[in-house]
Every structure is written in C-alpha cells, then in structure tokens.
A and B are shown apart, each in its own frame.
Chain A
C-alpha cells in the first residue's frame, strides 16, 4: 500500500510541472524550447461576430532580443483541428505552413487523413497567404473570401504569477501574493492568427477544437 508521502509526492510533481511553465509552454521533453513547441491556443468570436478567430502561439518566453531573430520553421506545420460532431475526430482543419517568408493557409477543409500524420491540403478552395511580419514593423495582414491572416511575433498574451507559484511549491511560501506579478510580462511568442467566417465551420451549436504541430 502506498503511503501518504508517495501519493502526495505525485501531486507535488504534477503541480511542479505546472510552474515550470504554464499554459502549454515547454510542456513536454520532446518539444520544449524547439520551434514546434505550442505555448498557447485561443479560439474566440471575432470583432465581426459572424467570425471565429483561432490563435496558435509557438516558441514562448522570447526576450525582445531573441524575438528579432525568431523564425517559423518551414518543416513545421501548424494545424487547427475542428470537430463538428463531438466525436473528438477532426472534421475540418486549417493548416498554416511557412515558405520563403510567407505563411500559407489551407482550409477550412476536410483532411485527407485524420490523426497524427498530415499532408498539406493543397486541394483546399479556401485559405490565403500572408507575408510573415517582421519584428519592429507594422503587422502584415491579408484577407481572402472573408478570412483574415497574420503570422509573426506578438506579445505573449498569457499571464500568471509563475514565480510565486514556484515559491509555494518549493515550500517557501504558503499562498499567492496580492497583487501577484506576471512572470510572462515583457516576453513574446511567434503567433499565427486566422479569422474565419463561422459559416465555413457550421451554423450553430458547439465545436471542439485543438491545435497541433507536425514536422516533416
């Protein structure tokens, strides 16, 4: 029989991971610190309420100096997955793949295969292409058939008092501070933002969505 210490030890390890980096930043050994490491995923109604916005952030904790040289990897596909019938299998994908300074978007389109392997859906009839924005310049935005596209460095929108949580876990503090301090303040990420008319996804109800990075 496991004693309480062992059981609690599991909990401490689990929550320690929480503080090592938060939303999904550096979440697992195989991807941490690399250019396929997804830091965060957002999906929300757009300024035009007929649209949904998907945001994938990669390569977290970029200092301003690091941001100037950060790049998307042409061998890394970022794929937004959309499940419209609640079976947790993607019915539609929006793929974002960088090439020669541009980010190409394909979809929403039914993928030729679901799951862990993908090919680029160049058969898609919706999508677009945008110049990858440079650090220190105005964001480059394009639109096509009601969709809008952006790729480039942005402020990391994630916020959390990671440092104080670390102190709690280390046993040096018993609670958060009031107010707390945002450990992610002043750091950037590489962002991919795509806005899509809801009509391209479904008419009503709810979807399940998640984002994947896949390497060639």
Chain B
C-alpha cells in the first residue's frame, strides 16, 4: 500500500512537473519534502490552565517535558499543597468541590494533564450534566475551573472569586469547519 506521503508527493509533483522539464535520470519516486530529523518536546497541554495555575514557577518547564504517565508521581502532591494554600474552599480537612473530590482526588485528576474526550456524544468541559467529556470552543472553562477551585461543595462558596463573568468569546464561532472565527 502506498504511504500517504508518496500519494501526496505524487500530487504535488504532478503539478510541479507541469513547469519543469524532467531530463535527469532519477527513476525513483520523488520523495517530496524532507521531513527527516528528530523533534524534541518543548510544550504540552491537556486541560486548560493546569500548568499556569498549579505548577510552581520553578517547575513550569519541567512540567512541559514530563510525559503524562509520569506527571502524577512528579506533581500531584505539589498540586495538592498549592490548591490547599490557594483556596479557602479547600482549607479544611474534608473540604470537597462540587464533583465530590477532596484536595487529593481533585489534584489527582488534574496532575495527569490530559483532556478526556468521549467518542459517544456530547463533548464538553462541563455543561451542567456532562463532566470532562471534551472541550468545545464555547465552553466557559475558566469559570468551571474557578468554581471547582473556589466554589466548594455546592458552587456557592467565594462567589466573588468563582466566576469571572466573561461567559462567551468576542466573536461568534462557526458551525462548520474550521469552527474558529476569522481573525481580527
């Protein structure tokens, strides 16, 4: 089976050949662009704002080059300490968020920084019913995170800190591909 690169390269070449005489003796399939080399990680992201909120300044670069399967061991306890210091809603033993998670459980979820996505239906960060089944463009992820950090067991604690009152983007999204609004 032809690989994609060869199929695509053939398309590109068939167009390019229009403009140039092919008088060399190259009999091989044109390789297309050179994609050789090894690429080394610099940044990564799963859920919004995890590195910025929970990772201490000195650890931020390291967090970006720690594979998700190692993040829990490397960062969960640090996240928990930060969360308990940060939020009055997690200041006391037994405090939980509205998902019923105490500080250890909540940071255990967050430390492995991947986005969970359902293949079966609604994809949303949180819509009042579905929790962590994806991230749609219109999801108010910051308010959801503020509520989970500051809102306590019933989303009612620290109301002045648990909603930034910006609920939507400044441009309407598209219903069709590529979905994001045109640039300003």
Contacts and interface: CB of A to CB of B under 8 A. Distances in A.
A175 B146 CA distance: 12
Contact of A155 (B46, B71, B86, B180): B180
A213 B43 contact: yes
B84 to A, nearest CB: 8
A212 B65 CA distance: 9
A52 B3 CA distance: 23
B178 A10 contact: no
Contact of B38 (A7, A37, A40, A118): A118
B3 A83 contact: no
A129 B161 CA distance: 45
Interface residues of B, number: 88
Contact of B45 (A21, A150, A211): A211
Q: Chain B interface secondary structure, helix, strand, loop or mixed?
A: loop
Nearest to B51: A27
A160 B166 contact: yes
Interface in B63-122: 63-65, 67-69, 71, 81-82, 85-87, 112-122
A22 B49 contact: yes
A199 to B, nearest CB: 10
A210 B45 contact: yes
Contacts of A157: 137, 169, 173, 180-181
Residue among A15, A27, A139 with max Cβ neighbours from chain B (10 Å) = A27
A160 B136 CA distance: 15
Interface string B1-35: 11111001000100000000000000000000101
Nearest to A29: B61
A71 interface: no
Contact of A206 (B37, B54, B116, B142): B116
A23 B180 contact: no
Given A55-B180, A180-B164, A116 B40 contact: yes
A110 interface: no
Contacts of A37: 43
A88 B183 contact: no
A119 B82 contact: no
Interface string A71-106: 000001100000100011100000001011000101
14 contacts: A36-B42, A42-B135, A44-B137, A45-B122, A46-B177, A52-B117, A53-B179, A88-B67, A106-B5, A122-B4, A125-B2, A210-B45, A210-B46, A211-B44
The 10 closest A-B pairs by CB, nearest first: A175-B160, A28-B60, A214-B39, A11-B85, A185-B170, A11-B86, A180-B165, A120-B35, A150-B178, A154-B180
Interface of A: 7-8, 10-11, 13-15, 17-18, 20-25, 27-31, 34, 36-38, 40-47, 49, 52-53, 55, 64, 67, 76-77, 83, 87-89, 97, 99-100, 104, 106, 114-120, 122-129, 135, 139, 141, 148, 150, 153-155, 157-161, 164-165, 168, 174-182, 184-188, 191, 193, 195, 198, 201-216
